[in-house]
Amino acid sequence: MTWLGWRLQRTETIVALGIVALLSALLVPTGINMWDAYNHGGLGACLGANPGFSCGNRIGNFRAQFQSLSDLANWFTLVPGVIGVLLAAPFVADLENGTYRLAWTQSITRGRWVFTKLGLSLLAALLAGGALTLLFDWWRGPTAHLDGRLDTGIYDSTGTVMLGYTLFALGLAIALGVLWRRSAASLVVAFIGYFATRILVDYKLREHLVSPLTATWKGAQQPAFLNDARILSLRATIHGHEVLSGGGGGFIGGTGKVGAAPGLKNAIFHAVYQPNSHYWPLQLTETALFAGVALLLIAFAAWRVLRTD
């Protein structure tokens, strides 16, 4: 059964690994350039010595050199979705083509068929997702130091979350495929569902995964501990009257300043924020959430297929 399972998903696995290889071909040279500029251009040393805002020129140069790459990289957040959905295709195709009836009337039980096939697709997704995670985490290193690793684009492609995203796309596509038994439609809708879920988590759910902290200070000078934090909301009051209120989503990196306006000198600022130290708790919670939902979806698919009539 292992031979058949592998043979049936060989093409998709090779394509998935091909996508990873293609990305590596693009990212490894540029990553080497970025790390080189960061380490030997003095930027790393400057940021290390001054966690404040005093590396302006060097940051400007670095950004000028690599900004277009960084912008492009935001699209890479779709890659786990593509790979996950792709690796679900062989399982759904077997149901759509009726070839499962061939397999289920050989000498092996359908239980073994289901577990081998799902296990192999899960394994392929873990491999491809793991490779993506390592590649992007390394590549994002310099920009993470610059913009802070809680910046949405950077957070989404560093740490462990990409592995969770890949598994989630796989689970969603398999579950939809089991319900629908139509490959093309299931895979497309699963990808759309993946994208919608990611947006929802990025902009709504993530800030609640780990309880944010609050800070209050006087005057326009932002406290140093907020330099690499992610500000979820910010208010300023003067004698109890609100003079400024900002919504969530704003990130204040090492180069930013809160309320630089001179009129706010005597204002009291209230901030709700995720400190840099919440990065790993956030990453691990989100990864566990996506991976957990993926496993539930796959378990549902297995249950549903096992009791197929």
Q: Does 108 bind other proteins (CB under 8 A)?
A: yes
Q: Which of 105, 208, 239, 241 binds other proteins (CB under 8 A)?
A: 105
Q: Which of 57, 65, 109, 277 binds other proteins (CB under 8 A)?
A: 109
Q: Which of 39, 57, 99, 221 binds other proteins (CB under 8 A)?
A: 99
Q: Evaluate the CA torsion angle 223, 227, 231, 234 in order and state its sign.
A: positive
Which CB, 239 or 309, lies closer to other proteins? 309
Listed ranges 94-102, 131-139, 157-165, 277-285: which one lies at the site for other proteins (CB under 8 A): 94-102
Q: Does 1 bind other proteins (CB under 8 A)?
A: yes
Q: Does 204 bind other proteins (CB under 8 A)?
A: no
CB of 166 to other proteins, least distance (A): 25
Q: Does 211 bind other proteins (CB under 8 A)?
A: no
Q: What is the dihedral of CA 62, 65, 71, 77, to 10 degrees?
A: -70
* Interface pattern 288-307 for other proteins (x via CB under 8 A): -------------------x
Cα–Cα separations (whole angstroms), residue 264 to 48, 193, 219, 249: 30, 44, 7, 22
Phi, psi for residue 282 in degrees, rounded to 5 = -65, -50
Q: Which helix (H) or strand (E) holds 213?
A: strand 213-218
- C-beta pairs of 199-205 under 8 Å, 24+ apart in sequence: 201/286, 202/152, 202/156, 203/249
d(CA 145, CA 59): 11
Listed ranges 41-49, 106-114, 121-129, 255-263: which one lies at the site for other proteins (CB under 8 A): 106-114
Alpha carbons within 13 angstroms on the beta-carbon side of residue 220 total 10
Query: Cβ neighbours of residue 103 under 8 Å, at least 6 residues apart?
Result: 4, 94, 110, 113
Q: Does 102 bind other proteins (CB under 8 A)?
A: yes
d(CA 29, CA 79): 19
Residues 2-61 close enough to bind other proteins by CB under 8 A: 3-4, 7-8, 11
> How many beta carbons lie within 10 A of that of residue 81, not counting itself?
24
CB of 11 to other proteins, least distance (A): 8
CB of 8 to other proteins, least distance (A): 7
Applying CB under 8 A, the residues found at the interface with other proteins are 1, 3-4, 7-8, 11, 97-99, 101-110, 307, 309
